[in-house]
């Protein structure tokens, strides 16, 4: 299997993670292992890398790409929400840096065969973890019209969500919708030609994105993960998150702000009584964006936003 993915904002991620030789880092989203490889080069020979991905293809690929560092890495086919348990298994109380590079890899779109792309005719699956139970086909063929329409609106910000949902219900009454091209054709037939022409993206982009986010429960899992950050980092440990969707970025921004907030007493109270302490310091007042040059070389980097935080020393 050839696993293709170009890592996004690699230099920036390494900078914010502060990769120090001998320290312990976690790459929660190995993908093509580009970031993991760059981290290993900085922290070896004595460092430790823990690598996680919910896609077994990414783990198989990591075993090859990270072979030169095999004595200093632990790889897990798992969801990053299980990081506290995985660290427990390894007897590691906390780590020096955690990286999340969210979303899809180019492998998912180009060669996974799981229907992530509207450009290919593949089974409508969209699971990053093929052991998960619900597929995109299940959602498309079982959700009620209102549920589909809300999903496309909420996660895809699709203007034509209601008519698309209506047409799906009508078409699936005759024949189950089983493939990515069947779904892409339905969407294209609903969006008026004039509206489609003014969009810079394929008519099916937003619905496919919404479905993928729902199948993989991407937002719920990110939110659950962020809650554990204070437990997972050592003092001075760093968190670096690269996101590609405004709702993901909103969750990351919210948690960093929340953990960086000191007093939450009402303004009328003259002296603090909540005694709340800052847990992290935000390192990125505004999200960091890829340089123009990077976007030119790798257009899939264009929507990336990087945020980072450092745990306050106790």
Ligand X SMILES: C[S@@+](CC[C@H](N)C(=O)[O-])C[C@H]1O[C@@H](n2cnc3c(N)ncnc32)[C@H](O)[C@@H]1O
Residues at the site binding ligand X, with contacts judged by CB under 6 A = 5, 7, 29, 31-35, 52-55, 58, 79-80, 101, 103, 105, 128, 221
* Least separation in angstroms between CB 50 and ligand X: 12
Dihedral angle of Cα 138, 144, 149, 155, to the nearest 10 degrees? -40
* Least separation in angstroms between CB 310 and ligand X: 21
Nearer to ligand X, 55 or 125 (CB): 55
Residue nearest to ligand X (CB): 31
Nearer to ligand X, 40 or 164 (CB): 40
CA angle 85, 91, 97 (to 5 degrees): 75
Nearer to ligand X, 86 or 177 (CB): 86
* Least separation in angstroms between CB 297 and ligand X: 15
The residues facing 75 across adjacent strands are: 51
* Least separation in angstroms between CB 90 and ligand X: 17
* Least separation in angstroms between CB 76 and ligand X: 9
* Least separation in angstroms between CB 299 and ligand X: 14
């Amino acid at each position: 299997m050839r696993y293709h993915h170009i890592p996004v904002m690699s230099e920036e991620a390494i900078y914010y993670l502060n990769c120090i030789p001998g320290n312990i880092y976690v790459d929660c989203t190995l993908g093509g292992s580009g970031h993991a490889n760059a981290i290993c080069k900085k922290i070896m020979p004595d460092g430790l890398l823990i690598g996680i991905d919910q896609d077994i293809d990414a783990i198989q690929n990591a075993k090859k790409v990270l072979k030169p560092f095999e004595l200093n890495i632990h790889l897990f086919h798992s969801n990053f929400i299980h990081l506290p348990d995985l660290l427990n298994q390894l007897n590691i109380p906390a780590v020096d840096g955690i990286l999340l590079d969210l979303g899809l890899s180019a492998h998912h779109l180009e060669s996974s065969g799981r229907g992530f792309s509207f450009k290919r005719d593949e089974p409508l699956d969209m699971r990053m973890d093929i052991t998960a139970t619900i597929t995109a086909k299940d959602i498309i063929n079982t959700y009620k019209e209102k549920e589909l329409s809300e999903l496309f609106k909420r996660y895809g910000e699709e203007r034509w969500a209601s008519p698309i949902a209506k047409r799906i219900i009508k078409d699936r009454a005759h024949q189950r919708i089983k493939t990515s091209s069947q779904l892409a054709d339905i969407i294209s037939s609903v969006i008026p030609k004039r509206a489609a022409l003014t969009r810079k993206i394929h008519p099916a982009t937003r619905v496919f994105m919404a479905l993928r986010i729902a199948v993989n429960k991407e937002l719920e899992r990110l939110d659950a993960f962020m809650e554990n950050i204070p437990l997972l980092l050592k003092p001075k440990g760093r968190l670096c998150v690269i996101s590609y969707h405004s709702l993901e970025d909103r969750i990351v921004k919210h948690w960093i702000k929340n953990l960086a907030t000191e007093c939450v007493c009402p303004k009328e109270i003259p002296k603090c009584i909540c005694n709340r302490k800052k847990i992290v310091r935000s390192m990125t007042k505004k999200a960091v964006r890829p340089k123009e040059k990077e976007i030119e070389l790798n257009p899939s980097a264009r929507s990336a936003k990087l945020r980072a935080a450092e745990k306050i020393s106790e």
